[in-house]
Structure 1
């Protein structure tokens, strides 16, 4: 089965967010593999720029707990806050949808069906 292209994945996420909007005020469910406390942005090793191999999606984790994502020529296409627990990251976009990801190692992030590499 072929994965959805990014545009269709985004549309599906927006449709789901609209459907679940009555629950928007509810706290997002958090998945924990261990009793890890959320790390402040300054205390984790993942702050910086993360990019897909084709360079189309550029995902910057800022030191203030916010992220800024660019897609193609569209700068700041998505923005929001994030929280890191161990190797797990949760995102809350300013438009209301949530996402998560996993840091496989110090230079690899799996998020939204995409693989990101750290840019030094």
Structure 2
């Protein structure tokens, strides 16, 4: 599966990676939006980094709005990104 930011209009049901990913301490929060955008919060700083992402298989490539690039990998329900380990945040009813 390859998901491009410009045509990533899938719902969470179609894209298993869309949603909130957080570090164990909750300090860093990546929200992968269904439109191919992401919003990263750090501590009390909402939208510390924003940009677009592309997913190919279990690999994610990020391009933030300043042009900085990074990548990561989803393995066994965990996102490994830039030395960080992020876990899927459980949905609350």
Q: TM-score, normalised by structure 1?
A: 0.66
Q: Report the count of equivalent residues.
A: 83
Give the distance between the partners of 2:35 and 2:62, measured in 1 at CA: 14
Indicate the structure with greater helix content: 1
2:2 is the counterpart of 1:38: yes
Aligned to 2:89: 119
1:44 Cα shift? 2.3
Aligned to 1:95: 66
Q: Say what the alpha-carbon RMSD is for the aligned residues.
A: 1.2
- Which contiguous aligned blocks of 4+ residues in structure 1 show a shift greater than 4 angstroms? none
Give the distance between the partners of 1:39 and 1:69, measured in 2 at CA: 19
2:18 is the counterpart of 1:47: yes
Indicate the structure with greater strand content: 2
Q: TM-score, normalised by structure 2?
A: 0.84
Structure with the bigger RCO (C-alpha within 8 Å, sep 6+) is 2
Aligned to 2:75: 104
Give the distance between the partners of 1:63 and 1:93, measured in 2 at CA: 16
Give the distance between the partners of 2:70 and 2:31, measured in 1 at CA: 15
Extract unaligned runs of 5+ from structure 1: 1-36
Matches within 5 A, 1:1-120: 38-40=2-4, 41=8, 42=10, 43-105=14-76, 107-120=77-90
Give the distance between the partners of 2:15 and 2:71, measured in 1 at CA: 16
Extract unaligned runs of 5+ from structure 2: none
